C-alpha cells in the first residue's frame, strides 16, 4: 500500500472540495473550455463532509485556509462540490512538502507551494481538518454543487446527472454562464480516459454512482444492451460494482520537456496537456497555466511529445474480497 493511501476514507465517504467562485457558473452551465476546463471533471484538495458538519460557514472557510490562497476570490460565499467518493482509488492523503529536498527526504514527490502543509491536513487555523489529494477524475453520478453563505444558510445550486446528461441547475430563473448549455450535454470524446468496466463479456464506460455502485454507458459507436434504461435519450445502466468482471482506470500519458503529462485533447498540430507530476516548481519552470487551484496545463506542439502511452490501472471492486 502507498505511504499516502487515504486513511479514513472509503467509497461510502461523502467528500467535498472548495470551488473557486468564478468556476461555479461554468460547472452549472456545462461550459467546456478546451484545454482549460471541463464541467464533468474535478481535481484538487478534498475533505470529508463529516469533519465540518458542526462548523459554521466562517469557521469552515477559515479552517480550509482559503484566505491564505492568493487569487482565490471573495470569501463571503463558499462554493462546494459534494459527492459520495464511490471508491478510495483516486484519493491520497496530502503528504508532501513545499520544498523538493524535504519531500524527497520524506520519500514523497508531492511539492506544492504555500499554504500547503504536507501533513495530511488543510492549512487552517484552529481546527485541523484531514485533507486528501484527488487526482483528475470524471465526477461521480449525483455530484452536487452547493453554496454556503456567511449567515450559515446553505443552498444546492445543481446536480450532476451523468457524463451523458451533464449538470442540471436548480434555478430556472438564473442568467449568465449557468444557463449557457442546458442538459442533456454529452461529454465530448476528445481523448479516451476515465473508468472502463467489463460486464457480461462486454466493455463499457463507467462512472461511480454512490457506495459500491457504478453507472455503465455503451462505448462510442456501440449499441446498448437491451436491459439498459433510457434517460434524456441516452442508454445507461446502474448496478453494483461486484457485478462487474473488472474495473479499470485509463488515461493517455506522455512526456514533455522533462515532465509527465496526461493528454486531454489532440489535433494533428497540437496537444492539450495536463500535468500529472505534483510539482509546482516544474510547473513554474515549464511556464504552465494554473487553470484551477494547483491544476496546471498547457497546449503544446504535438510533435514535441515523447513516450506517448496508454496507462491502464486495475481498480479493486468495492464490496468484493481481493
User: How many whole angstroms separate alpha carbon 54 and alpha carbon 302?
Assistant: 50
Burial 242-265 (b: 16+ CB within 10 A, else e): ebbeebbbebbebebeebebbbbb
Q: Which grid coordinates are listed for 129?
A: 481538518
Kindly report, residue by residue over 261-293, the tens digit of the pLDDT.
Answer: 999 999 999 999 999 999 999 999 999 999 999
Mean pLDDT of the chain: 95
CA dist 126 and 116 (Å) reads 16
DSSP state, 184? P
pLDDT band at 318 (very low <50, low <70, confident <90, very high): confident
pLDDT digits (tens, 9 = 90+) for 184-212: 998 877 788 999 999 999 999 999 999 99
- Return phi, psi of residue 205, to 5°: -75, 150
Of 139, 181, 136, 123, the C-alpha closest to 277 is 136
CA distance 277 to 262: 10
Rounded to an integer, what distance in angstroms lies between the CA atom of residue 236 and that of residue 222? 12
The mean pLDDT of 237-247, rounded to a whole number, is 96
Angle at 247 between CA 191 and CA 256, to 5 degrees: 35
Alpha carbons 166 and 185: distance in angstroms, whole number: 5
**Residue 256 pLDDT:** 98
Summarize pLDDT for 206-233 with one digit per residue, the tens.
Answer: 999 999 999 999 998 899 999 999 999 9
Sheet holding 77-84, edge to edge: 91-93, 132-138, 41-48, 14-19, 77-84, 144-149, 154-160, 167-169
Contact 273, 263 (CB under 8 A): yes
Q: What is the pLDDT of residues 56-97, one digit of tens each?
A: 999 999 999 999 999 999 999 999 999 999 999 999 999 999
CB 211 within 8 A of CB 12: yes
Residues 6+ positions from 161 with CB-CB distance below 8 Å: 141, 142, 167, 168, 183, 231, 232
pTM of the model: 0.94
Q: What does the pLDDT read at residue 320?
A: 58
Amino acid at each position: 500500500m502507498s505511504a499516502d493511501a487515504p486513511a479514513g476514507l472509503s467509497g461510502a465517504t461523502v467528500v467535498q472540495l472548495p470551488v473557486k467562485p468564478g468556476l461555479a457558473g461554468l460547472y452549472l452551465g456545462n461550459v467546456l473550455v478546451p484545454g482549460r476546463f471541463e464541467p464533468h471533471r474535478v481535481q484538487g484538495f478534498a475533505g470529508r463532509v463529516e469533519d465540518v458538519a458542526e462548523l459554521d460557514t466562517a469557521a469552515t472557510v477559515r479552517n480550509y485556509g482559503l484566505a491564505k490562497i492568493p487569487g482565490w476570490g471573495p470569501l463571503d460565499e463558499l462554493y462546494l462540490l459534494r459527492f459520495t467518493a464511490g471508491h478510495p482509488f483516486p484519493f491520497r492523503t496530502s503528504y508532501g512538502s513545499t520544498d523538493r529536498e524535504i519531500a524527497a527526504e520524506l520519500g514523497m514527490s508531492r511539492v506544492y507551494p504555500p499554504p500547503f502543509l504536507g501533513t495530511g491536513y488543510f492549512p487552517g487555523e484552529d481546527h485541523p481538518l484531514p485533507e486528501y489529494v484527488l487526482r483528475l477524475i470524471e465526477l461521480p453520478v449525483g455530484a452536487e454543487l452547493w453554496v454556503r453563505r456567511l449567515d450559515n444558510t446553505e443552498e444546492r445550486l445543481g446536480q450532476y446527472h451523468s457524463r451523458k446528461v451533464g449538470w442540471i441547475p436548480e434555478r430556472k430563473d438564473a442568467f449568465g454562464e449557468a444557463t449557457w448549455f442546458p442538459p442533456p450535454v454529452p461529454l465530448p470524446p476528445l481523448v479516451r480516459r476515465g473508468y472502463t468496466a467489463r460486464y457480461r463479456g462486454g466493455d463499457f464506460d463507467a462512472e461511480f454512482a454512490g457506495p459500491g455502485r457504478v453507472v455503465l454507458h455503451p462505448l462510442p459507436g456501440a449499441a446498448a444492451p437491451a436491459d439498459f434504461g433510457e434517460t434524456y435519450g441516452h442508454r445507461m445502466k446502474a448496478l453494483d460494482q461486484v457485478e462487474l468482471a473488472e474495473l479499470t482506470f485509463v488515461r493517455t500519458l506522455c512526456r514533455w520537456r522533462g515532465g509527465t503529462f496526461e493528454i486531454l485533447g489532440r489535433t494533428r498540430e497540437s496537444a492539450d496537456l495536463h500535468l500529472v507530476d505534483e510539482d509546482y516548481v516544474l510547473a513554474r519552470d515549464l511556464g504552465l497555466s494554473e487553470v484551477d487551484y494547483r491544476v496546471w496545463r498547457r497546449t503544446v506542439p504535438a510533435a514535441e511529445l515523447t513516450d506517448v502511452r496508454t496507462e491502464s490501472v486495475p481498480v479493486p471492486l468495492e464490496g468484493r474480497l481481493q
